[in-house]
Structures are given as structure tokens and as C-alpha cells.
A and B are shown apart, each in its own frame.
Chain A
Amino acid sequence: MHELSLMRSIVGTCVERAEGRRVKSVRLRVGALSGVEVHALRFCFDVCTEGTVLAGAALTIDEVPGRAECRACGERVALERFVAVCPCEKRARLTVLSGDELLIDSMEV
């Protein structure tokens, strides 16, 4: 699953920025539309942090809800899963406002 590859990337970045210091906690921001399974990401955390300065750190994942704006009617809709087209009559395109995030927000050392 790709969450393993993503978590390796996350751990790599945190180890680099920690510069040898022990990491107490890591905060991630994962959007509902990002294509990343939060549960799977959590699952990989322990495996990927073993033997690193992140071992034992707390993991917080802020799940960002999907929101989009209709280009025709300007209406803002909540999206649980990605669609490109507004449910309104005009079937216009939706611009995603939030939910695509895949970020390492911060860490505490």
C-alpha cells in the first residue's frame, strides 16, 4: 500500500529536521480527498519510526474535510469523496477548496 511509502517519506523528513534530537510528537494534515487512508498511515508509523529519533513519538493526524465551490452557482459543498461536477442543476465544475492536503504540519522535539 502506498501509505508505507508515504510514511517513510514523512519519517525521513522529520529525522532530517530533528537533527539528532528526540521527537516527542508529529502532527500531520491529511485531506479527505487526498487518496490517503489515515488508518493505514497510522499502522505504518510504528514500523517506520523504529530505531529512529521518532521511535515512541505521538502521532496526531488532523483530517481535513473536503470542501469545494461550484463555479457556476458559487455554492460551497462538502465532499466526502471526490467528484468533479456540482450536484446543482448546471452540473458545473467544482473547485476543491480543501481536502487535498497531505502535509507534515509540525513536530515537537
Chain B
Amino acid sequence: MCGHCGCEGGGATVVAADGTHTHVMPDGSVVTHAHDHAQAHDHEHGHEHSHEHSHEHERSHEHRGEVIQLAARVMEKNDRLAERNRAFFLGRELTVVNLMSSPGAGKTALLVRTLKELGSDVAVLEGDQETSRDAERIRETGAPVVQINTGTGCHLEADMVWRGLEQLDPAAGATLFIENVGNLVCPALFDLGEDARVVLFSVTEGEDKPLKYPHMFRRADLVLMTKVDLLPHLDFELDRALAAVSHIAPDAAVLQVSAKTGVGLDAWYAWLNADRRRSRTE
């Protein structure tokens, strides 16, 4: 990877419904291709750079090092971009929810059912390493959706969300669902500008999940325990799971849901409604 501009032929890809790909290189340059996204293709983004590294000269001299105090937050850039997103959301009166979980906890299944039942005033940004499969499932519900493929990235960041928003152009007043990459570790650190963080874990994942992944759960506004229809087949101890959540995220709301049977979904929709009102009054 070129350390000066970060270019490595990778970066996040935003895929629009018409198959147009927009690649955002880590150096900020934007490349757009219009073609059938069902075709497999190589993206060769070779960049020629010449770097003048004439440091031999410096090293041969004795010079005292100057210590520069930085006290710079590592997350500063992402947080600044998250605030930019936040300002955009405010201007469009969007309520924004960041959905996070392990892969397979049921984010997309819950989202699909939610979108069908809410019907209107919704929009989705879908994050995955590869494929547009989840975006396709969501598109079938009629909700506007843009897929963000991170390639090798394991989490969404604020700049990727911004680029997705440019394509999605969500309608004013909508509830925007950002489905993060399935990962219970990395997304936790990256503010996307959301109003609320919803962390899912399924009853097949075990009661200790919140204790094992404190960095994620401590930041949850709502914890959704999913796939509760499977409880009769499991030795899952609900009290232990609830205790684990309250040990790490005592202020988080907790709901138990099944996207399959519909159990608990009314409470989820009520929470979303309340979240809408909360985000408007703040």
C-alpha cells in the first residue's frame, strides 16, 4: 500500500440499483463505473506515484529531535465525519439506527420484516464485505436501499456512510436503517452519526455474549435478543442473558423478538417510534 495516499486498489464500494459502482479510494479519489454489477470483473486501480525520499542527507547530520506534542484523538477524523453525517440527518429530519451484531444473528431478516410492516418512510444503507445479496432482499420489500461493499473492511465508517447517502438521497422524515457489517468487535468504535445503536444477539449465541463483547454492548441503546422462537429447542437461560446485559449496558433497553413468528415486534416498532420522537426533540 502506498503510505502517502493510502491507495491500494481497494477502498469502499457503493453499489447503486442500476449497477453503477462508485469506488472511494482511501486517498479520497472517486471512480465511478456504469455497468452490469452481476458480471464478475477486476478493478485494476493502478496509480503511479513518484516519491522523493531524499532523507540520506538529513541522516548524515546530527540534529536534535524535536518532540511535537499532539494529544490527538485517533478517532478524531471519523468522529468529525460522523458529526457531518449527524448534521445532514438533522437537516433531513431522519431518524437513524445503526444495527450491529455477529454475522448470522438475524439483522437482515429482522430488517426485511420491519420494512414490510412499516411500509413507508424508510430507507436503508446496507454494509457487507461482498455481494449485494442483502440489499436485494431489502429491495424486494420496496424500501430504497444502497449497498456498501467494504471489500476487506470489517466495519462501516462515517465516510462510507456519507458516500452511501449521496447515492441513497433519503426522503425527508424517513427512518434510516444502517445495517453494519456482521461483526461484534470492530463496528463498535466507529460513530456513523446515528441516533441510536441497536445491538442484536440471537439466543443461539449464548447468554454470555454481552460479557464477551463489552466494547460493543456498552454502547448499545437497545439490545435485541433475536430468534426467540427457537427457545424451546435450546438450554438458553434468559435471566443470565438479561443479567449479562445489565452488567455491561445497564441503561440499554432490551427486547426479545422473532422475525419469523413476529413475537416481540410490536415492542420493537414502539421503540422505533419513540426513537423518532427522541431524535426530533433533541
Contacts and interface: CB of A to CB of B under 8 A. Distances in A.
B77 A108 contact: no
Contact of A13 (B70, B246, B247): B70
Given A5-B153, A35-B188, A83-B214, A24 B3 contact: no
Contacts of B41: none
A82 B71 CA distance: 23
A48 interface: yes
Interface residues of B, number: 42
Interface residues of A, number: 42
A6 B69 CA distance: 19
11 contacts: A1-B154, A2-B189, A5-B186, A25-B65, A35-B189, A53-B55, A82-B214, A82-B218, A103-B71, A103-B74, A108-B68
Interface in B42-69: 51, 53, 55, 58-59, 65-69
A92 B6 CA distance: 46
B214 A81 contact: yes
Interface of B: 1-4, 6, 26, 51, 53, 55, 58-59, 65-78, 153-155, 157, 185-186, 188-190, 214-215, 218, 246-250
A90 interface: no
A11 interface: yes
Nearest to B245: A84
A9 B74 contact: yes
